[in-house]
Each structure stands twice: as structure tokens, then as C-alpha cells.
């Protein structure tokens, strides 16, 4: 699928190099992956999208072949505000000053921060299987904390979570992909990742990446959720037309009312659940393509 793609290495913020993969023709569309993956998570949908769009897939800072700088004491190196500015720098270098953005998981958090901080660059916005970082903490429960324990584990002071993950890297990685976690006949997670794709994700899940991921979650707890709250209190909303999709068998569906949550952040939002778990582009690529192509 990516044989015709061009790989670029472009400077983001503060000299951090971002790996971007570009393919297709048409209007620009930026795709941002989630944890614990890379741009490769779009492998089941990128080819179809490239028939209608110039598709740009970035490895977020800290992931894949992008740089993985050490976190600063205040964790701002991995705030979604900085990560959003990385993506804007990449798109600007490619010649795009306005484009649509689709993000999954952590990439969706970068995407909605782009839309809040830089509304002039985001044409349409697609958010996959998230509610805001603010709501993730404000609406949490004991059951939520048990199911999504990593939201609390990864925010602990360095090097505790880093060392803990490295002591059983492969087991933790498998858990991060939700493989076998749902214990349901509707669980599609174990079938979503071909072995070569799984191996490529795992190859990047090294010491530097694990530290970056922990820093990114620390930034979520101490920076990102407060930026969200500031915007809510100020009445600042996402003005781009927004599509929210989530997995009917996943944890966002279980613990939240996603569309109701996003109505507080967006002026124009629509959405629904798709028949899958968390990893929508890999578990339900055909329903996702239908929704996204119609919306865009």
C-alpha cells in the first residue's frame, strides 16, 4: 500500500524531527495515530483515501520514526499544544495552510487541540474513540480507573512507569493494544493486527518511545486537561465541522456519552458508534471509510 508514498523528515517545534508519509491526490487530509502505534495504523484505509485526498500520515513526536526528546520537568515537551504545532509545521512545509484532520486516540487529542488553538488551519475534524482529556479525568470512576489504569500509571514520576513497562515490555504492549481485554464474542482486537504490522509496532516500542509515552500522559494530566478546562470556562469552542466516531464494543462507549461530551466543545458536531472496539481503522475499516468519505 505504501510503495508509492513519499517519506519526509520535517522539523517540528524546537528542532524535533517529525516523520511524515505522503500519498495520493486531491485536497489535503492529515491522519494522526494513537498509542501504542505509528502512522502504519492507517494501512487499511490510506489507500482508499488516497484516491480522493493527499493523505499525510505523521508519526507523532515520541513515536515511530519521529524524534523522541527527553521530557522537561514540567512535561511540556509532550503537551498536545506542542504536538499540534509539530503537525502544523509539517503541513506548512508540505505547502498546506488549511486541511482536514482525522485522529485516533492520542492523535485525536492532538487534532482537537489543533482545532482549538489554530482554527484557521482545520477545515473538517474527525475524532476517533475519545472524549476530551478533561472529561476523561472529570467523569472517571473506580470502574474506569480499573479498565483504563494506564491513565494513572503512566503519569507517575519517572522512572517508575518506564521501568515497570520495560520489565515486561511485550506483555504490556499486548495489553495496550487491548488484545483479549474485552472477553466478548464481539471482540475484534486480536484479529485487527496482522503479524507484520504488530511486529513493526513492537519494534518501535523501545526505551526512548516508552519514556516519551509516559511524558505524553504526564502532560495530559498536568497540562492538557487544564487547557481544556480553560477553553470550556472561556466558552471557546471548536468551529470546524466535527465528526465523532467510537467503538460500540469499547471503553469510551461503556463509560461516556461521547456525542454529549463533544457538544460542549464543538459548535457543529455529529457522530455515532461503529461495530468494533477501540482501534477503529484496523477493526472496522470499511464502516470507517464510508462515514469519513461521506463527511469529508
- Residues acting as catalytic residues: 105, 278
Please, which residues bridge with residue 100 across strands?
Answer: 29
What totals of helices (H) and strands (E) does the chain contain, helices first? Answer: 15, 8
Is residue 116 within 8 A of residue 236, CB to CB? The reply is yes
In angstroms, the CA 216 to CA 134 distance is 15
What does the buried/exposed string (b/e) look like for 176-202 if buried means 16 or more CB atoms within 10 Å of the residue's CB? bbbbebbeeeebbbeebbeeebeebbb
Helix axes 106-117, 80-93, angle to 10 degrees: 80
Instruction: Report in angstroms the alpha-carbon separations of 214 from 12, 31, 57, 133.
Output: 20, 22, 22, 15
Q: Which long-range contacts (CB under 8 A, 24 or more apart) does 219-222 make?
A: 219/71, 219/75, 219/76, 219/77, 219/78, 219/79, 219/80, 220/80, 220/109, 220/133, 220/151, 220/155, 221/137, 221/151, 221/155, 222/74, 222/75, 222/155
Amino acid at each position: 500500500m505504501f510503495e508509492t508514498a513519499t517519506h519526509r523528515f520535517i522539523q517540528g517545534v524546537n528542532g524535533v524531527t517529525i516523520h511524515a508519509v505522503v500519498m495520493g491526490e486531491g485536497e489535503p487530509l492529515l491522519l494522526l495515530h494513537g498509542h501504542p502505534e505509528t502512522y502504519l495504523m492507517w494501512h487499511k484505509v490510506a489507500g482508499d483515501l488516497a484516491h480522493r485526498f493527499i493523505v499525510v500520515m505523521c508519526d507523532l513526536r515520541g513515536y515511530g520514526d519521529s524524534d523522541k526528546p527527553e521530557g522537561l520537568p514540567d512535561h511540556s515537551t509532550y503537551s498536545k499544544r506542542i504536538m499540534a504545532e509539530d503537525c502544523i509545521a509539517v503541513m506548512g512545509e508540505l505547502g498546506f495552510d488549511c486541511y482536514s484532520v482525522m485522529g485516533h486516540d492520542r492523535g485525536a487529542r492532538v487534532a482537537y487541540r489543533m482545532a482549538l488553538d489554530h482554527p484557521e488551519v482545520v477545515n473538517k475534524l474527525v475524532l476517533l474513540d475519545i472524549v476530551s482529556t478533561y472529561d476523561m479525568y472529570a467523569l472517571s470512576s473506580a470502574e474506569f480507573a480499573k479498565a483504563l489504569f494506564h491513565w494513572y500509571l503512566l503519569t507517575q514520576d519517572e522512572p517508575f512507569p518506564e521501568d515497570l513497562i520495560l520489565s515486561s515490555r511485550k506483555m504490556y504492549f499486548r495489553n495496550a493494544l487491548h488484545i483479549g481485554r474485552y472477553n466478548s464474542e464481539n471482540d475484534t482486537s486480536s484479529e485487527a493486527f496482522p503479524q507484520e504490522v504488530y511486529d513493526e509496532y513492537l519494534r518501535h516500542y523501545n526505551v526512548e518511545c516508552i519514556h516519551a509515552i509516559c511524558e505524553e500522559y504526564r502532560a495530559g494530566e498536568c497540562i492538557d486537561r487544564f487547557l481544556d478546562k480553560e477553553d470550556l470556562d472561556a466558552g471557546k469552542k471548536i468551529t470546524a465541522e466535527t465528526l465523532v466516531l467510537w467503538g460500540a464494543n469499547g471503553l469510551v462507549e461503556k463509560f461516556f456519552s461521547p456525542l454529549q461530551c463533544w457538544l460542549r466543545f464543538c459548535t457543529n458536531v455529529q457522530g455515532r458508534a461503529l461495530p468494533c472496539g477501540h482501534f477503529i481503522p484496523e477493526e472496522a475499516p470499511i464502516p470507517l471509510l464510508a462515514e469519513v468519505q461521506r463527511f469529508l
